[in-house]
Amino acid sequence: MTHRERYHSDPQIRIVNGVCPHDCPDTCAWQVAVDQSTGQAVGIWGHPDHPVTRGRLCGKVDRYLERTYHPDRLTQPLKRVGPKGSGQFAPISWGQAIQEIAQRLQQVAQEWGPEAILPFSYAGTMGLLQGEGMASRFFNRLGASRLARTICSEAGFEGYLYSLGAAIGQETESFAHARLILIWGSNTLTSNMHLWPFVQEARCQGARVIVIDPARTRTARAADEWIPIRPGTDGALALAMMHVIIQEGLQDQEYVAHYTLGFPQLAERVAEWTPQRAATITGIPPARIAQLAREYATTQPAAIRINYGIQRHQGGGMAVRNIACLPALVGAWRRYGGGIQLSTSGGFRHLDFRTLHRPELLQRSGLDHPPRTINMIRLGDALSLDPARRARALYHPRPVDPIPGPEEAGPPVKALIVYNSNPAAVAPDQSAVTAGLAREDLFTVVLEHFQTDTADYADYLLPATTQLEHWDILKPYGHYFLALNRPAIAPLGQSLPNSEIFRRLARALGFDDPAFRQDDVSILQEFVASQRHPDFATVRWEALLEQGFVRLNLPQPFRPFAEGGFPTPSGKCEFFSQRMADDGYDPLPTWTPPGHWRESSAQEDLLLISPPAHSFLNTTFANLERFRRREKEPRLWIHPEDAAARGIEDGSPVSVGNRRGQVLLTARVTEDITPGVVLAPTIWWRKFSPDGRNVNQVTAQTEADMGAAGTFYDVRVWVKPVREGTGSGASRQEALAITQGD
């Protein structure tokens, strides 16, 4: 008898349906076993009936109970007692904390205007309620600055939209039917592991799996072939593939004629993109590019999985825009198993958020203009007292958007409210961020599970509940099942759901709107009931309660564009996009070089990428010893040629830096990384790193070509050996000492 079976037959045990809250495409449905005599959760596993979860959680969330019950969990409100940034706190009652915070926010709003208050959040939980649910109501009513949430996916998302109209992709289950699978800039086994069983099913039927990645990741190792590529050059590869396909007449003439726009212009454009030309850019031999194009065009169904790793650079939007044209060119959409998936979130694009977010509350804020929008990846600039830098943080995503000047910067940020995020560790240009967080005049409130690097800078640190302790609804970005999360246990200690914390703050600020009196369950019920679009005909509260998840009302099998129907302005896959021209872009696929390509530097002579470590989820789990042990230490993959040229040995400390900062890592000398490129798996907590920093010391606030998105993998660095004891190079002591200057 398995544990699970035992739990099911034990009358003492209650089984509660829920869903993983993390920022991961899989959004796994889970079941929690609760011992009714103690109220303790004693077991957790993937929901066996969910068609994508299929009964399995990943190696991180398998341990979600351990994380929830960890002795380091925050269980009471805390108020700062030491100097700013020291992480020294003393307990305070909820009543007092809420009252003092409300008072300070009121002061800031009176003196500087409500836009001096900035919410900062991302996807610590992807829950629609504990994410931006009650928070939106609160910040709308307040008239606070808005946050453009650009840290992850916006560049690729926009690029995909220009070509296809919505972030709709072939469904995950369909990959089992593919005969060729390109895994392109995605480390599937780490960041999207529930796709893999479908990939394996396809392989059992003879499918070939090719991984295109600068690194031989665990996914590349498990695939049939690894094609190493220079970071930021995928757009050029896609152009050359289109060149070969069109030159050899391998396109699907009929599909192209009926369901695409601008084929003649595309043919003319890609005529110049020979495999030879792309080879000099991508580092992939011309013959391999031509062969890949033929294989792709002649093997059906052909599936492409791109993920967000591919678009974290200054040409990221255009790269995705180009790749997204490929399936239409060869007619891959026709068959189940063919197409492309970047995200499935577009399947949920008709969700009506009005009852949840209450945009009309803004009218009660007293603000006579729409609040400014601050780009989250420019948090360093946003927290500056210099209006010129603050203006740079204003969100202006398209080339046609006017560049804001210092006179439009608005008030300095005087209060920062952080929830579901850990900016001191995850945001780029870390020294700029910490300089801002360290400002004595900045009032910072952090809602958290643990005392993160960001929490150290808080004036008030408020204990939040985890997914085991609160209600929520989640929409995934790697399949088409909406899920309900029911609390399995009572909140630990005095912790409260984000929703309740914002509710209490609202009341303390005198916001008497009924929106702040609604409890979590009624909010979710109302949200579900308010959906009118036919895509949500299957989404009923009772169904969610009973099963835990429901599939959108989509045809089964779902072949989204088998007969066109692209949600673009023309209704076709747009090889030529007027919307792009109107927004200030080249209307045809082109190669937008990454920043590191343009700004060559003799000193900063290596390219750094820093994708997710297997055992962390962004920064989540990275504070727990079990997961840190799995990752060993903050590391740098470096090719033997690059290591030898610098006198770097495997396992030795290296200093990685550039104009912005530096960080101490341990070299892993390996042929698993393309020469000229170094890779640092992350996101480590700074306080658990040897020098109290992480790799975001060297990343930049620069925006991508589209969506004003982050460019985490577009960084030039130098790498130097750190000598133990005396000798040339920096000593370990010196490397560590620099930290104090942060």
Interaction of residue 474 with ligand SF4, rule CB under 6 A:
no
Q: Measured from the CB of residue 682, what is the shortest distance to ligand MGD in angstroms?
A: 5
Binding residue (CB under 6 A) for ligand MGD from 422, 577, 658, 674: 422
Binding partner of residue 518 among ligand SF4, Mo ion, ligand MGD, none, CB cut-off 5 to 8 Å per kind = none
The binding track of 89-128 with respect to ligand MGD, each residue x by CB under 6 A or -, is ---------------------------------xxxx---
Binding residue (CB under 6 A) for ligand MGD from 20, 24, 293, 325: 24
Cβ(443)–Cβ(427) below 8 Å: no
Query: Which residues make Cβ contacts (< 8 Å) with residue 21, sequence separation at least 6?
Result: 124, 125, 126, 127, 130, 466, 467, 472, 474, 485
Cα separation, 80 vs 449, whole angstroms: 17
Our CB check for Mo ion shows the closer of 152 and 278 to be 152
The binding track of 663-682 with respect to ligand MGD, each residue x by CB under 6 A or -, is -------------------x
Binding partner of residue 654 among Mo ion, ligand SF4, ligand MGD, none, CB cut-off 5 to 8 Å per kind = none
Window contacting ligand SF4 (CB under 6 A); options: 20-28, 396-404, 463-471, 658-666: 20-28
Q: How far is CA 615 from CA 626, 633, 682, in A?
A: 9, 12, 9
Binding residue (CB under 6 A) for ligand MGD from 232, 283, 347, 380: 232
Binding partner of residue 419 among Mo ion, ligand MGD, ligand SF4, none, CB cut-off 5 to 8 Å per kind = ligand MGD
Tokens coding 461:
């640190």
Cα separation, 282 vs 261, whole angstroms: 28
Binding partner of residue 20 among ligand MGD, Mo ion, ligand SF4, none, CB cut-off 5 to 8 Å per kind = ligand SF4
Peptide bond into 683 cis (omega under 30): yes
Our CB check for ligand SF4 shows the closer of 286 and 612 to be 612
Cβ(188)–Cβ(203) below 8 Å: no
Count of positions (residues) in the chain: 742
Binding residue (CB under 6 A) for ligand MGD from 31, 136, 172, 191: 191
Residues 141-180 that bind ligand MGD (CB under 6 A): 151-152
Give the binding-site size for ligand SF4 (rule: CB under 6 A).
13
Which residue in the block uniquely carries the two structure tokens 């796994």?
28
Helix axes 520-529, 498-508, angle to 10 degrees: 100
Binding partner of residue 244 among ligand SF4, ligand MGD, Mo ion, none, CB cut-off 5 to 8 Å per kind = none
Cβ(508)–Cβ(521) below 8 Å: no
Interaction of residue 212 with ligand MGD, rule CB under 6 A:
yes
Our CB check for Mo ion shows the closer of 516 and 712 to be 712
Cα separation, 528 vs 355, whole angstroms: 10
Window contacting ligand MGD (CB under 6 A); options: 85-93, 387-395, 571-579, 613-621: 613-621
Residues 47-76 that bind ligand SF4 (CB under 6 A): 57-58, 60-61
Query: Which residues make Cβ contacts (< 8 Å) with residue 737, sequence separation at least 6?
Result: none
Give the binding-site size for ligand MGD (rule: CB under 6 A).
58
Cα separation, 634 vs 451, whole angstroms: 20
Q: What is the DSSP string of 694-739?
A: -GGGT---PPPSSTT---TT-EEEEEEEEESSSSSSEEHHHHHHGG
Our CB check for ligand MGD shows the closer of 214 and 412 to be 214
Q: How far is CA 35 from CA 50, 204, 250, 484, 485, in A?
A: 24, 41, 61, 21, 18
Cβ(594)–Cβ(608) below 8 Å: no
Peptide bond into 557 cis (omega under 30): yes
C-alpha neighbours within 13 Å on the C-beta side of residue 708: 22
Binding residue (CB under 5 A) for Mo ion from 152, 246, 473, 738: 152
Our CB check for ligand SF4 shows the closer of 427 and 617 to be 617
Binding residue (CB under 6 A) for ligand SF4 from 7, 22, 189, 515: 22
Q: Residue 49: count other Cβ atoms within 10 Å of its Cβ.
A: 14
Binding residue (CB under 6 A) for ligand MGD from 163, 498, 592, 662: 498
Binding partner of residue 61 among Mo ion, ligand MGD, ligand SF4, none, CB cut-off 5 to 8 Å per kind = ligand SF4
Window contacting Mo ion (CB under 5 A); options: 134-142, 147-155, 262-270, 479-487: 147-155
CB neighbour class for 373 (10 Å; exposed up to 12, middle 13-18, buried from 19): middle
Our CB check for ligand SF4 shows the closer of 22 and 378 to be 22
Interaction of residue 610 with ligand MGD, rule CB under 6 A:
yes
Window contacting ligand SF4 (CB under 6 A); options: 22-30, 241-249, 281-289, 438-446: 22-30
Which residue in the block uniquely carries the two structure tokens 């080879």?
279
Sheet holding 481-485, edge to edge: 472-474, 481-485, 549-551
Interaction of residue 458 with ligand SF4, rule CB under 6 A:
no
Tokens coding 494:
């005095």
Residues 644-663 that bind ligand SF4 (CB under 6 A): none
Interaction of residue 282 with ligand SF4, rule CB under 6 A:
no
The residues binding Mo ion (CB under 5 A) are 152
The residues binding ligand SF4 (CB under 6 A) are 20, 22, 24, 26-28, 57-58, 60-61, 193-194, 617
